Chain A
């Protein structure tokens, strides 16, 4: 069974997630810093947003300097060098409801210190996408595609509410994986995962959310 969301269900799931993330004060950075935003005039176009800082990947294997914009403590495992790139990148991240596929979709844009959005070639050099995601894919200036996949893995699109140019991960494949994770979480004790939390953990196989 694939879950689909109406706009009301999507808003409810996001608000439930944001509340749970605040209450649990989780150490998982993937859950931190998200807030609910609305279109300034029309109902039904709400989405989640957060802003994080990214670095270039080649600064030293998987080290990233990551701060969420509400100053939650970064988990320091002692191996992360404390210095940051002199040129930190700003990443706007959005969780938006796809009107066609009726599932949450991850949109983002990355800006350099000058404020200009990064081109795809540069995006692939940041720490945002996991290195193995691009194996077997073909990149153009406007998309990353895998020959076996029906839709590009990553392509350009306008943010459905803001209208600004973004990049987004195609939502088709994620919903089934989320169901598996939810079932596994039900079998464990403790608080069951919200749908959005499960979805973010699927997403984090592709995107470095921490």
Chain B
């Protein structure tokens, strides 16, 4: 990688070392407004909110460890992280794509209402919490590894896929409270979980034909990003986790 900052009409290459997030994000806004379509950020160490409020389909490659709320409220860009992501990635994202060549922290995809997130390895707590969907908007999160507790908590929509590729032969997922409070959307899970690991609001089913279609498309995209064999992954069985009730707490406050 060149060590100097390069900026042409449609390309920006920036050394982010020592830049505060406010300045970094201001530079991104400016570059995108001026028509940049490809952005490369090097030496990123924890700057927050990268990609937020960008509303064009610009490509952003991040080398390093982006900070919390990566792609928050994002509306169109495509972010590729060459490393790990921290907490709150894809917070309330509306449109676009985040591809993480590593692991990600807690509350990935929280309240996302559109767009796609692909994580090659494991993710932290409460991934997909309160994801939602509306009409044509249906967010997709695909996790290559395993997840920690409260996966899909209060999930209200969207598609969450967990592939368990980092688990060893015969090793089960450790996450508990999966889908607690879930009342919309769907989780496709590859690998074993025991019934006690699931929230009380979750049902388990085999995949139907429509499910297979959604899953194949999601796994296909995941494999295209990270170089896995989709056919191989899809050979093993998946469980479908779905909400038993659309309004699990509907009667809690109505009397």
Indicate whether A and B interact: no
B interface residues with partner A (beta carbon < 8 Å): none
